[in-house]
Structure formats: C-alpha cells, structure tokens
A and B are shown apart, each in its own frame.
Chain A
Amino acid sequence: MVERRVVITAGSAITPIGHGKANIVESLKNGVSGVKPLRRDDLLSAYIHSGVFGTVDYPVEYDFDRRFKKTMGPVAFYACQVVREVLAEAGLDPDFIGSGRLGVAFSSTHGSPTVQRGIYRQFFSGSSEEYSSVNAVDYLKSMVHTTAVNITKMFGITGRVIASSTACTTGSQSIGFGYETIKFGLQDAMVCGAADEYDTTTVAVFDNLLACSTAFNETPHLTPRPFEEKRDGLVVAEGAGALLLEEYEFARRRGAKILGEVIGFSCGNNGGDLILPNANGIKATLLTGLESAGIGPEDVDLISAHATGTKMGDVIEAQAMSKIYGDRPPVVALKSYMGHTMGACGAIEALMTLYMMEEGFIAPTLNLEKVDKRCAMIRHVAELIPDADIRIAAVQNFAFGGVNTCLFLKRFDG
C-alpha cells in the first residue's frame, strides 16, 4: 500500500490561556495560567471539593447564521468557531470543500452536557406535560458526534466523518485517524480536532475518584502541578482545537503554507483496568508510535506529556518515558497552564507543540517547584528555553478506558 506524506496547513484553538496562536504563544512564554475558580452552577458545584477549573473567561465572538446555530450546543459553537478559523487560514478552494475528498475527524467527550442536563431536568420534573417540551433539536445538540456533523453542515463538507469519542484521547485520535485516512489515500484532506464545554459533571466524576485538585482552591494558578511533589490531582478545563491535515503533494500543488508534518501515530489499550494507568500499555504505545514514524527514541527532541497532575498517573508516565527515552529529550506538561481540557486536550496540546516547533522555544512546566523524586528520571523543563531546535516532537495522551495514543510531529523545513 502506498503511504502518502501528511502535512499540517492550518490550526486554531480556544483555550483557557488564549484564543489563536499569538495569544497562546504569549501565555506559554510568560507562564500565564488559565486556571480560575470553579464557576457556580445550580447542579453540582456546591457539592464538589475541587474549586478550580481551566476556564475560557474571555468573550468569543460567534457570527453564525440561525440555520447553523439551531442545532448547536456550547461544544459545537467552540468546534465550529475553531474550524471556521482553520478553513479561513487554509484558503481551500470551495469546490474542493464539497468534493468528497475533504473529511472531518472531530469529537468531544459527551456531546453537550449542558443540553443533556436540560433534557434530564424535563424528564425528571414529574410532569407528563414536560415530555413534549423536549426540543426536537436537543438530540442534534447533545449527541456525541454533534461537533463533527455541525462542522459538515456549516462548511458544506461532504467527505468522511470520524467522531471517535474516547474521553481524553478524543482529540489525539481525531488527528491520528485523520492522518491515517490521508496517508492511505482515503481522503486528500481532513479537518481534525476536538472540543469540550464547561461542565461540572465531569469535575464531579474525578472529584469522587479523589483525582481532582482540592488544595489550591484559593490560589487556582498554582494547580495543577504535573510531576511536582505537592501535586494533588487534575483540574478539569474547557476548550477546543482544530488542525487541517493535507496530503503533501496536494498541499504543495495548491501553494499552501505548510506548518509541520505528522509522521507517526499509535493507539493501543491497556487491555485491563479501565481507570488505573499502566506503564506496559503506555510503553507499548510509545514504541509502536516510534515504529510508525520510522524513527528511534534518539530522534525525538521534545515530548508533550499527558501529565494531568494526578498522584499515580504522572509517576507511571514518567517511568514509561524513562524506559524508552532515558533522560535526554525535554518533557513539558502543557496541562500545567490550563488544566485538562478533556476530549480537546490532544488537539490543543498537539497545536501548542507545533507552535513551539515553529517558534523555536520550549515552554516550561508550570508550578514545577520541586520534582517528585519518583518522576525525576526524565528531563523536566522548569524554565523557558527560548531558543530550542525542535525537529521532531511526541504528543502523548491517555484516557479512561485504558486507551493510549502517541502522535509524532515533524517541523517542516521545506
């Protein structure tokens, strides 16, 4: 089977540390945290021990027509906005967008929990009259592939739809499956990414598992603390990220600006416990990824770790990385800036890694005052590296259910 090169030609993200490349790079270089106090809601916030959330606290201007908005919950607004920016940046021929050769790989953890909450409220209201008030579009707003299909509708995309929803590996799978779809000739380009909206039910799940940060409720910017001695759990966050992947020759012929290349992807499962991290499962995924990229560990110049800031997860990931990479490549935990954007984290972190490659810097892991000795066997980045030469980077993500992914990105040097 002929394997085609796959390049990245556009990207955008809405994150707790900024919207778009310029804002995000500025925050990464200046150590800006996007973690804020958990917003109050009428459902769960009063019962949750964790009082922090990676928050998009700036206005996002949506200029969408009614015919698009009517099937969108908050998560689809995020998704369609970042994709609109990606398509504007890419400048694809309108005929190509509707040709069937452009597909979408996009999803989220839940669809829209905000809309789902409204449906449940009506169902459990105790009134039979309320049944008929469930809006006809509630399903379209809340279904798990709501982001992907709202994107196809808004932009007239007629190719493949992949809406893989695997919690924290949703975004990395979108990029990985989009990459493979182009690599093996099934599409010429794919809009890839993921989004998740503000939601306290997700916080409650991790809170009940004792996996959420609770010790820094009065100083949100000091958490999460991946790999750090005083880390006490993850911080749930919201956001969206999208990238346009294209087959290299197709992008070159149309004169697209090439930002980087996807050279490898792996996805495996621990085959066992659905919650606990598993060093062997992670190691197997990292090795398969290296093989997929056709490189060795010595070729990797930067690793974006999944590193959520949980007690056990960070140790297991550090151990797995150490076995394969030793203590050579710098490791950054991007969640230290914004918390865990759930389904979106793979897309957002891949994009941030691309930004660091393009701009030649490595952002330090925030709040890394004293590395936990059980995580000390890898090369942490505690200070900004302003002049980094990053040719190849790995982006690691792991999810509930035991799903592990690894993407390999390469700088495009022409």
Chain B
Amino acid sequence: MPLSRESIIHDLNRIFKENFEIEDPDPDENLSQAYEFDSIDAIELLVEIEKILGFNLTQEEKKQAVEIRTINQICDYMEGLAEDRA
C-alpha cells in the first residue's frame, strides 16, 4: 500500500520533534536557514527515511537528496522512492 502524503508528514513531524527538536516546521520552510538543519542532520534523517520506507537506500538514491531543503521536497523525494521500488 503506497504511503500517503499525510502519513509521511505525520512521521516527519515526529522525527523532527524527537531527533532534531524542531516543532511542526512549515512544509515550504528552508530547514537549513530556519533551523540550522545541516549535513549531519540530513544523514541522520536518511536513516529515519529508510525506516519509514522499509528498505535501504542505495548510494545513488541518497545522493539525490543533496538538493532537498524543505519538508515538501522530502515528501516528494520519499514518494518518488516508494514509486520507483513499487
């Protein structure tokens, strides 16, 4: 069953709160500028994304995340990964 956008945002909000102390970020907010979300956080987030998706990402798939800046972009990225593996 494909992941819904709502469930992805729900999971991301939980992860951002628990792991990064960031409460309900605006979906289009630049996470780096607003919360100093940096490359170290991004690597940790990728591990959490793998858990949500239920599969390990390839090195190439991880590299696609380099340009991501917002929650909406993370959702697009995750939906794309889920679709590719479907």
Residue ranges of A at the interface with B (Cβ–Cβ < 8 Å): 66-67, 70-71, 132-133, 135-137, 140
Contact = CB atoms under 8 A, between A and B. Distances in A.
Contacts of A70: 40-41
Contact of A67 (B36, B43, B47): B36
Contacts of B43: 136
Contact of A135 (B38, B47, B50): B47
B54 to A, nearest CB: 12
Interface string B11-46: 000000000110000000000000010101101100
A132 B41 CA distance: 15
A66 B21 contact: yes
A133 B46 CA distance: 11
Contacts of A135: 44, 47
B40 A132 contact: no
Contacts of B38: 67
A136 B56 CA distance: 15
Nearest to A140: B40
Contacts of A136: 40, 43-44, 47
Contact of A132 (B20, B21, B36, B50): B50
Contacts of A67: 36, 38
B46 to A, nearest CB: 8
A386 B50 CA distance: 64
A136 B21 CA distance: 17
Contacts of A66: 20-21
Contacts, number: 20
Contacts of B21: 66
Contacts of A140: 40
Contacts of B50: 132
A133 B38 CA distance: 19
Contacts of B20: 66
B44 A132 contact: no
Nearest to B43: A136
19 contacts: A66-B20, A66-B21, A67-B36, A67-B38, A70-B40, A70-B41, A71-B40, A132-B47, A132-B50, A132-B56, A133-B47, A135-B44, A135-B47, A136-B40, A136-B43, A136-B44, A136-B47, A137-B44, A140-B40
Given A70-B40, A132-B50, A133-B47, 17 more contacts: A66-B20, A66-B21, A67-B36, A67-B38, A70-B41, A71-B40, A132-B47, A132-B56, A135-B44, A135-B47, A136-B40, A136-B43, A136-B44, A136-B47, A137-B40, A137-B44, A140-B40
A321 to B, nearest CB: 48
- The CB with the most chain B CB atoms within 10 A, among A66, A133, A135, A140, is that of A66
Contacts of B40: 70-71, 136-137, 140
Contacts of A71: 40
A135 B47 CA distance: 8
Contacts of B36: 67
Nearest to A66: B21
B85 to A, nearest CB: 16
A118 B78 CA distance: 29
In the A-B complex, the 4 residue pairs with the smallest Cβ-Cβ separation, listed nearest first, are A136-B43, A66-B21, A67-B36, A136-B44
A132 B38 CA distance: 19
A133 B56 CA distance: 11
A66 B20 CA distance: 7
- The CB with the most chain B CB atoms within 10 A, among A71, A136, A140, is that of A136
A325 B73 CA distance: 71
A132 B46 CA distance: 10
Contacts of A132: 47, 50, 56
A136 B20 CA distance: 14
A70 B21 CA distance: 11
Contacts of A137: 40, 44
A105 B3 CA distance: 50
A72 to B, nearest CB: 12
A66 B44 CA distance: 14
A137 B19 CA distance: 12
A134 to B, nearest CB: 9
A68 B43 CA distance: 16
A43 to B, nearest CB: 25
Nearest to B38: A67
A147 to B, nearest CB: 18
A140 B20 CA distance: 17
Interface in B44-81: 44, 47, 50, 56
